[in-house]
Amino acid sequence: MAKVKHPRFDCSPGCPVEAAVSLIGGKWKCVILWHLLSEGTLRFSDIGRRVENATSRTLTKQLRELEADGLVHREVYPQVPPKVEYSLTEMGQGLGPILVALRDWGDQNIDLFNASNVA
């Protein structure tokens, strides 16, 4: 029996890598997920300070996509000014080992990356 494809993913059966990368493949998504994993619940402004090279518009878009994909939970508190907090869902927390592996790989290869950007 063939695997059923998720309707959002246009990949052949047995292509979970493509499906997974499509969920975390935005420019800042892994960085956002890393901060939520390592620091816990954060407000939008806290995420913005940690991902300072991303615009507010980009952060908003990527957080909405992460929320829609079930990786991030968005909690809105009814107060003035509005308070919005973001945290990882159980599915998002499942990315922990992957994010740690990416960090470790980055630590091991950062010198090569920096050398290639100097030229």
The model's pLDDT over 53-67, given as tens digits with 9 standing for 90+, comes to 999 999 999 999 999
Confidence at residue 13, expressed as pLDDT on a 0 to 100 scale? 61
Percent of the chain with pLDDT over 90: 64
Domains and CATH numbers, the chain: 16-113 (1.10.10.10)
Distance CA 70, CA 40 (A): 16
Q: What is the mean pLDDT of the segment spanning 27-34?
A: 96
Let me know the angle formed at the C-alpha of 75 by 71 and 81, rounded to the nearest 5 degrees.
140
